[in-house]
Amino acid sequence: MSRNEVSGKAGQNPSSLWRASLSKNREIVGWTAQGALVCGIMLKHHIMAGLVLAFVATCPALSWADFGARVVTVHEGDRLTIHHEGRSETIYLKDIDCPELKQPYGKQAKHAIAAYVGNREVVVRALKRDRDGRATAEILLQDGRNVGHELLKEGLAWWQRSASNDASLEVLEELARASRKGLWADSNPVPPWKWKAPKKTSRKYSN
């Protein structure tokens, strides 16, 4: 610092120095207030994020596991292929089992689900894979209805007791049975896990 600068500062009015100091303090207070405000906003966002996660955990309808997809192929009543994020995957409907295509009402079940979801956007929920890589999930319509449950109501599927603990599905099955809807119109419908398709007879050639 030069001699002139030193002499200039020394010759300053005390009131000027006080005002300069006060201005500097106000700047520091302003920065501190801004920092506190930013911290407060960040904390608020963290709290809100935590509340949202807690809400999602207690509300399955908003589960992050849900995702949208388009149904591109309906293979049979309880099996279809979806397209999602550039790839296709075959999905089996969770908790139900439809008649095989060659069984009575097998084609009706396929036509019924095709009418619900064929080439349409759906919501895929609770997708899981077994040891063999087979994927099962709930398929929901845009209005929130579960397609598998709709098939049960129409008497075009059995409730998978061995794989599901949802007792409400047993009620849907019993109501369809009592009304003799779909496959329950038969006196003794055979479930697909007991049904065996007729084996093709192989031709024998002799010389």
Per-residue pLDDT tens digits for 145-174:
999 999 999 999 999 988 888 989 999 999
Q: What is the pLDDT confidence band of residue 60, given thresholds at 50, 70 and 90?
A: very low
140 DSSP β-pair partners: 123, 146
Residue 44: which pLDDT band, with cuts at 50, 70 and 90? very low
DSSP secondary structure code for residue 2 in this structure: -
For the stretch 117-134, pLDDT in tens is 999 999 999 999 989 999
* Tokens of residue 127, six digits: 């997708």
Residue 113 pLDDT exceeds 90 = yes
Can you give the pLDDT at residue 198? 58
Is 0.75 topped by the overall pTM? no
Cα separations (Å) of 15 from 4, 9, 10, 21, 24? 21, 13, 13, 10, 14
Pairing of strands 79-84, 87-93: antiparallel
Q: Count other Cβ atoms within 10 Å, centred on residue 125.
A: 17
Q: Which amino acid is at 110?
A: K
> Residue 15's pLDDT band (boundaries 50, 70, 90)?
low
* Distance of alpha carbon 84 from alpha carbon 64, whole angstroms: 15
Q: State residue 100's pLDDT score.
A: 96
pLDDT of residue 40: 53
Residue 68 reports pLDDT greater than 80: yes
Q: Rounded to the nearest 5 degrees, what angle is found at the Cα of 72, between the Cα atoms of 62 and 129?
A: 55
User: With contact defined as beta carbons under 8 Å apart, do 70 and 89 qualify?
Assistant: no
Residue 188 is encoded by which pair of tokens?
């003794």
Q: Mean pLDDT over all residues of the chain?
A: 79
pLDDT for position 162? 85
Share of the chain above pLDDT 70, in %: 64
98-118 average pLDDT score:
97
Nearest CA-CA partner of 125 in 142, 141, 144, 138: 138
Give the residue from 81, 80, 76 showing the smallest Cα distance to 107: 76
